[in-house]
Amino acid sequence: MSTSFETSDSSLETAAANSASTSSQRAPVKLRQVNRIGDGLVDRSRSLVFAFDGKRFTGHPGDTLASALLANGQALVGRSFKYHRPRGIMSAGVEEANALVEVGTDAMREPNVRATVQELYDGLIAASQNRRGSLHHDLMAINDMAAPILAAGFYYKTFMWPKAFWEKVYEPAIRHSAGLGTLSMQPDPDEYDKGTLFADLLVIGAGPAGLAAALAAGRCGSRVILCEEDFLFGGRLNAERQAVDGVSARVWVEQAAASLAAMDNVRMLRRTSVFGAYDHGVYGALQHLTDHLNPAAPDRGRCARQVLWRINASRTVLAAGATERHIAFPNNDRPGVMLAGAVRTYVNRFGVAPGRKVAVFTNNDDGWRTAIDLAAADIEVTAVIDTRDVPPPVDTGILQGARLVRGGAIVDTQGRHRLRALRLRGGQPIPTDCLAVSGGWNPNVHLSCHLRGRPEYRDEIAGFVPGGTLPAGMQVAGAACGDLSLGSALRSGHRTALDALAELGKVDAGEAGEVPGADDESTAVSAYWQVPVKPAGALKAWSRAWVDFQNDVTTKDVTLAVQEGFEEVEHVKRYTT
Last residue of a domain, one of 189, 219, 248: 189
Whether 9 is covered by a domain: the verdict is no
CB 215 within 8 A of CB 256: yes
Q: Over 80: is that where the pLDDT of 485 sits? A: yes
pLDDT at 533: 75
Same domain, 132 and 272: no
Mean pLDDT, residues 212-223: 96
Last residue of a domain, one of 147, 171, 189: 189
What's the full length of the chain, in residues? Answer: 577
Q: Over 50: is that where the pLDDT of 2 sits? A: no
Same domain, 58 and 150: yes
Residues 6+ away with beta carbon under 8 Å from 19: 293, 294, 297, 298, 299, 300
478: left (phi over 0), alpha (psi -120 to 50) or beta: left
- Report the C-alpha gap between 352 and 369 in whole angstroms: 17
Mean pLDDT, residues 430-440: 97
Whether 468 is covered by a domain: the verdict is yes
Same domain, 537 and 408: yes
Same domain, 416 and 283: no
Same domain, 229 and 129: no
User: What are the beta bridge partners of residue 323?
Assistant: 442
- Report the C-alpha gap between 141 and 137 in whole angstroms: 8
Distance of CA 226 to the CA centre of its chain: 20
* 110 CB-contact burial (10 Å; exposed 0-12 / middle 13-18 / buried 19+): middle
127: left (phi over 0), alpha (psi -120 to 50) or beta: beta
**What DSSP character marks residue 129?**
-
Give the pLDDT confidence of 43-77 residue by residue, as tens digits: 999 999 999 999 999 999 999 999 999 999 999 99
Q: Over 90: is that where the pLDDT of 298 sits? A: no
pLDDT at 138: 92
pLDDT at 24: 39
pLDDT at 310: 98
Mean pLDDT of the chain: 90
Whether 5 is covered by a domain: the verdict is no
Of 219-228, 287-296, 360-369, the one with minimum mean pLDDT is: 287-296
pTM, rounded to two decimals: 0.92
Same domain, 131 and 182: yes
pLDDT at 13: 44
Same domain, 184 and 220: no
Confidence of residue 538 (pLDDT cuts 50, 70, 90): low
H/E run at residue 233: none
Whether 334 is covered by a domain: the verdict is yes
Q: What is the CATH number of the domain that holds 307?
A: 3.50.50.60
Confidence of residue 94 (pLDDT cuts 50, 70, 90): very high
Q: Work out how many domains the chain is built from and give that number.
A: 4
User: What are the beta bridge partners of residue 362?
Assistant: 386, 438
* 452 CB-contact burial (10 Å; exposed 0-12 / middle 13-18 / buried 19+): exposed
Same domain, 409 and 344: yes
Residues 6+ away with beta carbon under 8 Å from 182: 102, 111, 129
Whether 20 is covered by a domain: the verdict is no
- Report the C-alpha gap between 343 and 437 in whole angstroms: 9
Mean pLDDT, residues 398-416: 94
| Residue 154, φ and ψ in degrees, nearest 5 | -55, -45
Give the pLDDT confidence of 512-535 residue by residue, as tens digits: 899 999 999 999 999 999 998 776
**What DSSP character marks residue 108?**
G
CB 20 within 8 A of CB 293: yes
- Report the C-alpha gap between 408 and 404 in whole angstroms: 9
Domain that holds residue 269: 192-323+443-512
Same domain, 48 and 107: yes
Percent of the chain with pLDDT over 90: 77
Whether 25 is covered by a domain: the verdict is no
Confidence of residue 31 (pLDDT cuts 50, 70, 90): low
- Report the C-alpha gap between 147 and 152 in whole angstroms: 10
Same domain, 400 and 539: yes
Percent of the chain with pLDDT over 70: 93
Mean pLDDT, residues 407-419: 94
Same domain, 256 and 304: yes
- Report the C-alpha gap between 303 and 8 in whole angstroms: 9
User: What are the beta bridge partners of residue 48?
Assistant: 59
Q: What is the 3-state secondary structure (H, E, C) of 12-39?
A: HHHHHHHHHHHHHCCCCCCCCCCCECCC
- Report the C-alpha gap between 445 and 481 in whole angstroms: 8
pLDDT at 144: 87
Give the pLDDT confidence of 313-335 residue by residue, as tens digits: 999 999 999 999 999 999 999 99
Residues 6+ away with beta carbon under 8 Å from 536: none
- Report the C-alpha gap between 361 and 371 in whole angstroms: 10
My answer on whether omega of the bond before 162 falls inside 30° of 0, hence cis, is: yes
Q: What angle do CA 55, 59, 62 make, to 5 degrees?
A: 140
Same domain, 368 and 464: no
Whether 466 is covered by a domain: the verdict is yes
3-state secondary structure of 345: helix
DSSP line for 41-56: TS-TTS-EEEEETTEE
- Kindly tell me the number of DSSP H helices and DSSP E strands found in the chain: 13, 30
Whether 205 is covered by a domain: the verdict is yes
Last residue of a domain, one of 166, 189, 212: 189
Residues 6+ away with beta carbon under 8 Å from 502: none
